[in-house]
Amino acid sequence: SEFRTWFPGLRRTATEFVNPEEKPRFRILAWPNAGNAEDMYTNDSVVNARLPTSPLLDWCRKNGAEMLAVQLPGRGGRMKESFAESPQAAAKALLPIVASRLVDVPYIVVGHSVGTWLAYEFVRLAQKEGLPAPVNAFLSNFPAPDLPAEERPWTPNRGMSDQKFKDECRAWDVNEAVFGPNMWPTYKTILRKDFELFDRY
């Protein structure tokens, strides 16, 4: 289903409420950072291999919260799909898939890096369509979306050589393993497309 396409990790989280007569206390909608996939939120071992479980998933399980981590097109099981052209386009595609789940249970948004702007545009569109606002938002490691382009603390990646783009990615603390010969061809495309989301915004 389209819902599973956007939220493929829900079953893995052990936070899904499958009985329609039971509802979670909260739903958490989470957007990953540039170059990443939904499993940064839905896989216990991805965030920190030194911990037996993800602190966020652990909190969800203990507090009856359902984790809905967004899988954007162009990565994971959606590798063959076209990338989102803008945060607004991503929001427009996602909202009809999840709208019915925003009205019966309070929801929280989480976004890291470019995920903060994706979350912001999603909430703007949801409110424009008359849906409830989130009860809380946890947004990290990115400037406010109204920061003028000339004040943004990065260099636009369009026209950058491969080496300069690697240097820019390292400045964003991208894991060094990504630059290896086996991983870079895939991650280069994903990272460039994700960087374009905030370069064009």
Domains located in the chain, CATH noted: 2-148 (3.40.50.1820)
Predicted local confidence at residue 48, as pLDDT:
60
Predicted local confidence at residue 196, as pLDDT:
94
Predicted local confidence at residue 64, as pLDDT:
97
Torsion of CA 79, 118, 197, 169, to 10 degrees: -80
pTM of the model: 0.93
Predicted local confidence at residue 52, as pLDDT:
74
Other C-beta atoms within 10 Å of 125: how many?
A: 18
* Separation CA 138–CA 27 (nearest Å): 13
pLDDT tens-place values along the chain, 201 residues long: 999 999 999 999 999 999 988 999 999 999 999 999 999 999 987 656 666 788 899 999 999 999 999 999 999 999 999 999 999 999 999 999 999 999 999 999 999 999 999 999 999 999 999 999 999 999 999 999 999 989 999 989 888 999 999 999 999 999 999 999 999 999 999 999 999 999 999
- One-letter amino acid at 80 equals K
Predicted local confidence at residue 49, as pLDDT:
60
